[in-house]
Structure 1
Amino acid sequence: MGIVMERSIPEEVKLLLDKYVNGLQEIGVKEKLVGVYLYGSLALGAFHLETSDVDFVTVTTEQVNEVEKVKIRELHKKLYKHDLGKRMDGMYIPLVDVGKQNHEMSPYLYCSDGKTNEGHWDINSVTWWTLKNQGITVCGKQANELSYAVTWDDVVSTMKYNVEQYWSEKVKRPYLFLSTEWVEFAVVTMGRIIYTLETERIISKDEGLQYMMASSKEWEPLLQDVYRMRQKEGMKPSLSRWRRAEMTKQYLLFGIEECKKRWGR
């Protein structure tokens, strides 16, 4: 089954999605399909073939049954043999739950880091907003025609919770930022949140980092180090590991206060 999409994506991704949709057809799940959709970096125009995840939401007319779950797990094991298949991250959501939050939903099937599990995963208002407004339809009903409503206030509430709960707790554990992965994750995520609140537009992590590099000279050494991490330039960091960890903590505290100013307007 050939896939025709309204926006251009890398040919390698298209071939993977062809295999995925054909696989769903072969195991009989296609009869339940409402559609397969892409969000994340692909939808935001920031996909890196070597590193980015293929973020998807597969919507079905009803919850997949136990037999179908076994077949879906096997399908992802087959796809995992391919490099891009290892980076397929997504969820199987019944139509009745589209637009809902995790706490409102029964456990669902999701794929992350090459493993298929059942529970709750990457569902929030940012996910639904991106899907509704910028999502790419792989097959089925168009993403913007899915029957659910999500407002910008919902997006802000999600980011507010993320900042005031998740990142405010992480700041209390600064030893985390001795890890290069945690430094990169913290810096690009906070930059993305600040920019999104400023412009009322969901953007990629790369765009958030570029915005911070252009607008905040105070954090330039840290931002430059993170930029090099993401570009895989192999250049020696300008900051020591300990200095970088401390600067990441201070950057997060700065970001938390900046966010509070923006949603307090």
Structure 2
Amino acid sequence: MEIQPVLDESVRLFQEELADNLVGVYLHGSLAMGSFHPAQSDIDLLIVVFHPLSPDVLKRLARRVVLLHESIPTPRGIELSIVLSRYLREFEHPAPFEFHFSDGHLTRYKEDENYICGGFGDADLAAHFTVVYHRGIALYGAEPKEAFSPVDKGWYVQSIVSDIENAVEEIAKQPVYYTLNLCRVLGYLRDGVVLSKQEGGVWGLNTLPVLYHELVQYALDRYAGNDAGRTVDEEELTGFARYMLGEIHQAMAQAVEG
């Protein structure tokens, strides 16, 4: 699929709706980090504004974002959050957001014209801000390292670790998501590098015990759409999750002691 027209249309939408209130439109996630796969990935955007948005603007945005999402020929579509510019330099954790859209909210937005997800803090934004700062792309506005200050590493770690704490219970349901995310979290804790899910899997192949290489390769192949009908055993998945969480918690404890 052609991604650039989607990005161009996204920027045009926010320019039209937000006008002089728009500070920047930033691409993050797998697409910004060169590991986008249409069947598995969504298009991740962070929108920055000067001032809070009125209810009328939020409702118009919701309608237009739903139409944009449904026009994208991928299963995951688009995910985005709108934040105030003051948090780029003076980050708070969890950072408040004005508006959020993802596929999980699609039904609510379509069925309730007054529904708006926004107005409270989101711990995930520590991870999004960090990825924008280190790996993001400015589609509109100043370059990320000019516009953003680095997020405290402790907040970033809290954000990414909270995403995988239930891996033992959930990995059998989402083996690709949890296998690759566990790898990229441990990769950051050990090496301090912000990784995509795919890069995390490659890190795992190069670093983890050989015992887990076949599972990590399976997850990488599935992520790229090349699974060839293979399956993995639930016990193998939960054993991997237990091992990785143990290594993650050990790395966190060592960081605190250091």
Q: TM-score, structure 1 length as denominator?
A: 0.79
**Cα deviation per residue 1:192-213 (whole Å; 9 max; x = unaligned)?**
1111112111011111112222
Counterpart among 195, 201, 212 of residue 203 in structure 1: 195
Residue 222 of structure 1: SS of its match in structure 2?
helix
1:26 and 1:155 mapped to 2: Cα distance?
33
The letter for the 2-side match of 1:210 is V
Contact 2:164 2:181 in 1 (8 A): no
Deviations 1:50-81 (A, max 9, x none): 54211010000111111111111121132122
Check whether the contact 2:184–2:196 (CA below 8 A) recurs between aligned residues: yes
Partner of 2:223: 230
Per the TM alignment, residue 122 of structure 1 is displaced from its structure 2 partner at its CA by 6.5
Task: Give the one of 201, 212, 219 matched to 1:219.
Answer: 212
- Residues 178/252 of structure 1: CA separation in 2 closer, same or farther (3 Å cut): closer
The one of 80, 83, 92 aligned to 1:100: 92
Choose which of 16, 32, 37 in structure 2 pairs with 1:48. Answer: 37
**Retained in 1: the 8 A contact 2:171–2:241?**
no
Letter in 2 for 1:141: A
* CA distance in 1: counterparts of 2:249 and 2:40, whole angstroms: 32
Q: Which moved more, 1:55-64 or 1:136-145?
A: 136-145
Q: Judging changes above 3 Å, is the alpha-carbon distance between structure 1 residues 168 and 50 closer, same or farther for their aligned structure 2 residues?
A: closer
Q: Which residue of 2 aligns with 1:65?
A: 54
Contact 2:218 2:227 in 1 (8 A): no
Give distance in 2, aligned partners of 1:177 and 1:136: 31
Cα deviation digits, residues 130-155 of structure 1 (max 9, x gap):
11222210112222122544233433
Question: Structure 1: where are the runs of 5+ without partners?
Answer: 1-9
Change (3 A) 1:197 1:60: same
Does 2:191 align with 1:192?
Answer: no
Q: 1:88: how far off?
A: 1.2
Distance 2:219 2:117 in 1: 33
For residue 151 of structure 2, what is the amino acid of its counterpart?
A: V
In 2 relative to 1, CA 89–121 (structure 1 residues): closer, same or farther, beyond 3 Å?
farther
Aligned equivalents of 1:253, 1:58: Cα separation in 2: 36
C-alpha distance in 2 between matches for 1:111 and 1:247: 35
Summarize the Cα distance change of 1:157–1:249 in structure 2 as closer, same or farther, 3 Å threshold: same
Shift of 1:121: 4.7
> 8 Å contact 1:152–1:200 — kept in the other structure?
no
TM, length-normalised to structure 2: 0.81
RMSD: 2.5
Q: How far has the Cα of 1:170 moved from its partner?
A: 4.3
Structure 1 equivalent of residue 8 of structure 2: 18
Residue in structure 2 matched with residue 75 of structure 1 by the alignment: 64
**Residue equivalent to 1:154:** 155
- Give the letter for the 1:126 counterpart: A
Identity %: 18
Q: What residue is the counterpart of 2:79 in the other structure?
A: 89
Q: Aligned to 2:246, what secondary structure does the other structure show? A: helix
Q: How many angstroms apart in 1 are the aligned matches of 2:74 and 2:176? A: 22
1:227 to 1:263, Cα distance in 2 relative to 1, 3 A? same
Q: Distance in 2 between matches of 1:76 and 1:158?
A: 26
